[in-house]
Amino acid sequence: MGIISVYFSRRTSIWVYPTGLVNTIIYIYLSVKYHLLGEAAVNFYYTVMSVWGWWLWSRKNAAQQPALRVTYSSSKEWLQQWAFAAFCFLIIYAALSWARNAFAEGAIPWADGLASATAFTGMWLMARKKVESWWWWVATNFCSVPLYFVKGLVVTSVYYIILLVMAVGGLMTWQQKAKAQTV
């Protein structure tokens, strides 16, 4: 379902959200089971953001066209993205460091925090149809491949390699869409 969801996202199809919701529920379970608490939090966040994104993407303007279009971020929005990602990383890293010491000794705070913070940022931007969301997805997938591999979840690691390739394709597709809308 995750691959199907990314496929729909690349095509800017609203079906990204219902298919993504199925995927997030599966990964909440897996992440908790394997002490990837940051990833579990990410998938819970995805669930909430999917509802918000679904609402944003389904809105229509007066001409009954989608109200939200694929666009590039402004310089100010780029700064907000980096600040948001840094804030998320610091909070997640601190929480996972505490969890590792308290009860989840298998946690990897810096790697899980980095994958999670980039994912939080990517999902926030995808809901707003920002091209830069795909850069954050590339970073998320790049970080997730070794994270899941180290945990022994080789199939999931391969899944993130597939998502990484799809994210690069999504970036190129959305760049073309954004350019076509400004011409």
Mapping DSSP onto H, E and C, the string for 64-119 reads CCECCCCECCCHHHHHHHHHHHHHHHHHHHHHHHHHHHHCCCCCCHHHHHHHHHHH
- Give tens-digit pLDDT for 74-87: 999 999 999 999 99
Residue 88 lies in a domain: yes
- Give tens-digit pLDDT for 18-31: 999 998 988 888 88
Using alpha carbons, select from 158, 159, 183 the residue that is nearest to residue 4.
159
Residue 135 lies in a domain: yes
Which pTM value belongs to this model?
A: 0.85
Residue 63 lies in a domain: no
Sign of CA dihedral 4, 168, 165, 167: negative
Residue 131 lies in a domain: yes
Residue 115 lies in a domain: yes
- Give tens-digit pLDDT for 38-68: 678 778 988 899 999 999 989 888 888 877 8
Residue 70 lies in a domain: no
Residue 64 lies in a domain: no
Q: How many domains does the chain have?
A: 1
Residue 88: which domain range?
2-58+75-182
Residue 68 lies in a domain: no
